[in-house]
Structure 1
Amino acid sequence: GADAAPKPSSASMERQRSTELPALDSFPLKHSNTLTNRQRGNEVSALPATLDTLSIHQLAAQGELSQLKEHLRRGENLVNKPDERGFTPLIWAAAFGEIETVRHLLEWGADPHALAKERESALSLASMGGYTDIVVMLLERNVDINIYDWNGGTPLLYAVRGNHVKCVEALLARGADLTTEADSGYTPLDLALAPGFFCGDTRKAIQQVIENHILRLFQKRELE
């Protein structure tokens, strides 16, 4: 089955990269691979005067829990308020890997099933960033593990493309579909096997996780 699947070229994959990713780079805050406030041991990472100018969405992305809590007290519906792109505070926090903010937002009633205007979800963006703990936390809230966005991309596809081995492993262990096609025509399995897309140990690790998953599926079927 894998041999018959379409194998996109590395050049076409690069073109897909430039059009498929949500425009998180335009967000004027720290990059998603920096430490969260809790990891740094801080509750606040910006000057108070600066914090006063940030929206609830920016505060969520920054992990500013104290200020975010103050904002949410001002209105009952703010916890799920979408911004101009349809992103809720939870979606922003998940996209930037702010695990404690995600945890608190869920406790405060944030909707883990919410979708933005182009069907971006907290689960997909957490998978894209490789934030495995957040992915597991969201899955425990029974979100759709195979949710697709505007171009058919799923959480598993984004985790594979981002070389996030632990995230791929967690998604597969909880039933993510390897064969769901994006609008471009390729699946997470195609992407993992595409020549030239990964290199070195990461490629081997991703492929090994997928091979082990497929083997377990076959063994389970035989037992049934």
Structure 2
Amino acid sequence: MLILKVPPELLIQIGKDVECSDLNRFLRCHSHLYSILNNLLYQRNIHNISALCWAAAEGSESTFRNFIDAGANVQWESQYLAHSVQHHGRRFRYPLEIEMMKEHPISHAAAQGHARIVEYLLDLGADINYRDRNGLTPLALAAREGHLNLTRKLILLGAKQLSHDKEGRYPLVQAASNCHHDVEDYLFDQLRQYPYSKPNPRLDLYWMLKYAAEHGDKDRIRYLLAQGADKVIRLYVVRFYLHDQEVPPSFY
């Protein structure tokens, strides 16, 4: 290939003048071209948020670090500006200017349980309580997907345990809604130690019991009732979500 005899400086100049898609095809033609032009490809994509998010979601540490080495910045804060209002006993959050939001790779890494990328992002100054489009923080995403080790790591690093999404659900509720019992039990215990305002244990047990009943998980219901769920709440929840099926007396 005659192109391999072209000086590296000229190859780089050529690379600057072609489309990124063409540059990608070009450097894949030969390992020599790849070694010269790969960094240029990353430099030209450092503002491509979707590329960063892809690397985070796939857990591709080398790709992600290449973006960082090329100058990508991951220190922006959430543009999810929210306020809370009380409505029928529930807390809702409404996003302002949601169309102006940026995604953040930390959300994708947390949802997929890629703890090393999450830690790397935090070391680079990413916001541990970054809110995605739905108001979900990395802790909420990790809890929702059942990533216990990452949940523990984020708690140890100071993630907000009562950060609500736009539907008023905090991380423990996210875990309970998907039957990740190890995560919800861990978060229940951590909330009892939370130094800031925290919900009454009865409220936590209500959500845990609600979703256990909704999924018809009788073993889980028995366990939660043994933890002291309020009698009136448990009667309502179990009867409602089990559709008035006959409930064994031991449930009460």
TM-score (norm 1): 0.58
Q: 1:132 aligns with which of 124, 130, 148?
A: 148
Report if the CA contact (8 A) 2:175-2:184 is conserved: yes
2:71 is aligned with 1:75: yes
Aligned counterpart, 1:55: 51
Higher mean C-alpha deviation, range 52-61 or range 124-133: 52-61
Aligned counterpart, 2:170: 154
Aligned counterpart, 1:211: 227
CA distance in structure 2 between the aligned counterparts of 1:213 and 1:201, rounded to whole angstroms: 15
CA distance in structure 1 between the aligned counterparts of 2:218 and 2:103, rounded to whole angstroms: 35
CA distance in structure 2 between the aligned counterparts of 1:94 and 1:152, rounded to whole angstroms: 20
**Greater share of helix residues, 1 or 2?**
2
- The Cα of 1:175 is off from its aligned counterpart by 1.4
Q: 2:205 aligns with which of 184, 189, 205?
A: 189
> Per chain length, whose mean CA-contact separation is higher, i.e. which structure has more relative contact order (CA < 8 Å, sep 6+)?
1
Does the C-alpha gap of structure 1 residues 170 and 180 become closer, same or farther in structure 2, counting only changes over 3 Å?
Answer: closer
CA distance in structure 2 between the aligned counterparts of 1:180 and 1:148, rounded to whole angstroms: 17
Does the C-alpha gap of structure 1 residues 179 and 104 become closer, same or farther in structure 2, counting only changes over 3 Å?
Answer: same
**Greater share of strand residues, 1 or 2?**
2
Aligned counterpart, 2:217: 199
CA distance in structure 2 between the aligned counterparts of 1:81 and 1:144, rounded to whole angstroms: 15
Output the aligned Cα RMSD: 3.4
Q: Which segments of 5 or more consecutive residues in structure 2 lack a partner in the other structure?
A: 1-37, 80-99, 193-197, 231-252
2:89 is aligned with 1:93: no
Aligned counterpart, 2:127: 111
Report if the CA contact (8 A) 2:205-2:229 is conserved: no
- The Cα of 1:130 is off from its aligned counterpart by 1.0
Residue type of the alignment partner of 2:155:
L
Q: Count the aligned residue pairs.
A: 158
Structure 1 vs Structure 2: percent identity of aligned residues? Answer: 20
Aligned counterpart, 1:65: 61
